[in-house]
Amino acid sequence: MEKKHLGKIFRIESKDYYVWDANGNEIRCNLPGKFKNELRIKKNKLFTLDYVVVGDDVEFVRNNDGSGVIKKVCERKNCLSRKALKSRAVLNRGERVEQIIASNVNNLFIIASILEPPINNRIIDRIIVAGESNKINVNIVINKIDLLKQKEQVEFWKNFYENIGYSVFITSAIKGIGIENIKNKTQDSVNIFWGPSGVGKSSLLNAMFALDLKVNEISQYSQKGVHTTVTCSMIKINKDTFVIDTPGIREIAPYGIKKEDLGYYFKEFIPFIKNCRFNTCTHSDEPDCAIVEAVENNFINLLRYESYINILNTIEQDMYF
């Protein structure tokens, strides 16, 4: 019998899967095609990256040359995913497939910038749903505050998300503002930084931990949306602290959520939901909806409700069979 080793995937580059073994050594592994076939189930060939993702615990065997072969992916405690982009997904009865970003994470830091690109609460709310639906602790970071002359706007969004119950960090990676606060929150956890392109995810991680992640050299934010970080990678900060830098996203649609469950991922809705007349209420056009009533009475912010409706309308009910 070949000796099996336990490892953790920390980076994937095309067909190379980089694993830390129990002693923290970096081992380049590959994933046998046969193994991929077993895992394929309903998925498109293009989704090789999803069979094994950053954060996965795996079993592997060693080759004589020091490289490894992955034999098993251990059960995931959780994973962060989204609906795959249309261009990557094979259409099977019209539904799109899941793209898993990373697994076994504790904290999701949703990174936004106040300007360049301007903050977009719809995108933040979509990423919140991805985190909440996978039971990942959600935090919000508003970066680039050095670009803002008037501070009211950033105070508005800070209060907005704090009132819902999220921790909000106001930062400038360039000026070193707010870096210690966010750093403290990452201790002894696996933390993923996710958000639109160009908001400063890699810059923040560099400022927090004196890293050397690639950062966009053109300081002027370009509407063309270049992606500086192209692959997800996990970095070990100390024995129990890890951070994951991700490529920026342009669009995000939650995956695998039923219309009648979406309200539970807007956490300020939860206390009201039980008062809806129907327990399958989607809080849109049903009679006696407690969420609609709470919006009318200003217990729930209209902007959040609009975000909710916006996501609800993109959920394809026929995905479930």
Ligand X SMILES: Nc1nc2c(ncn2[C@@H]2O[C@H](COP(=O)(O)OP(=O)(O)OP(=O)(O)O)[C@@H](O)[C@H]2O)c(=O)[nH]1
What is the binding site for Zn ion (CB under 5 A)?
Answer: 276, 281, 283, 289, 291
Q: Which tokens hold the place of 14?
A: 């095309």
**Dist. CA 121–CA 124, nearest whole Å:** 5
Candidates 81, 99, 104, 143: give the one binding ligand X (CB under 6 A). Answer: 143
**Dist. CA 209–CA 25, nearest whole Å:** 21
Candidates 172, 233, 282, 307: give the one binding ligand X (CB under 6 A). Answer: 172
Q: Give the nearer residue to Mg ion in terms of CB position, either 134 or 202.
A: 202
**In contact, 55 and 73? CB cutoff 8 Å:** no
**Dist. CA 145–CA 221, nearest whole Å:** 15
Per CB under 6 A, which region of 64-72, 125-133, 224-232, 305-313 contacts ligand X? 224-232
Tell me 221's DSSP state.
P
Min dist CB 9 to ligand X, Å, is 20
**Which one of Zn ion, ligand X, Mg ion, none is in contact with 186 (Cβ closer than 5 to 8 A by kind)?**
none
Candidates 198, 283, 304, 308: give the one binding ligand X (CB under 6 A). Answer: 198
Interaction of residue 228 with ligand X, rule CB under 6 A: yes
Tell me which long-range contacts 272-276 makes (C-beta under 8 A, separation of at least 24): 272/299, 272/300
**Dist. CA 246–CA 53, nearest whole Å:** 12
List residues bridging with 120 in a β-sheet: none
Min dist CB 215 to Mg ion, Å, is 7
Residue 120: what residue type?
A: N
Candidates 199, 234, 244, 262: give the one binding ligand X (CB under 6 A). Answer: 199
Min dist CB 113 to ligand X, Å, is 7
Interaction of residue 144 with ligand X, rule CB under 6 A: yes
Peptide bond into 247 cis (omega under 30): no
Candidates 99, 171, 202, 233: give the one binding Mg ion (CB under 5 A). Answer: 202
Q: How many residues bind ligand X (CB under 6 A)?
A: 23
Q: Which residues of 117-232 form beta strands (DSSP E)?
A: 137-143, 167-170, 190-194
**Which one of ligand X, Mg ion, Zn ion, none is in contact with 304 (Cβ closer than 5 to 8 A by kind)?**
none
**Dist. CA 52–CA 47, nearest whole Å:** 10
Interaction of residue 197 with Mg ion, rule CB under 5 A: no
Candidates 117, 178, 248, 254: give the one binding ligand X (CB under 6 A). Answer: 248
Q: Which tokens hold the place of 231?
A: 């692959």
Q: Give the nearer residue to Zn ion in terms of CB position, either 237 or 262.
A: 262
**Dist. CA 292–CA 49, nearest whole Å:** 41
Tell me 75's DSSP state.
P
Candidates 216, 233, 282, 307: give the one binding ligand X (CB under 6 A). Answer: 216
SS3 251: coil
Per CB under 6 A, which region of 55-63, 90-98, 168-176, 231-239 contacts ligand X? 168-176
Contact residues toward Mg ion (CB under 5 A) are 201-202, 228-229
Contact residues toward ligand X (CB under 6 A) are 143-144, 146-147, 172-174, 197-203, 215-216, 218-219, 227-229, 247-248
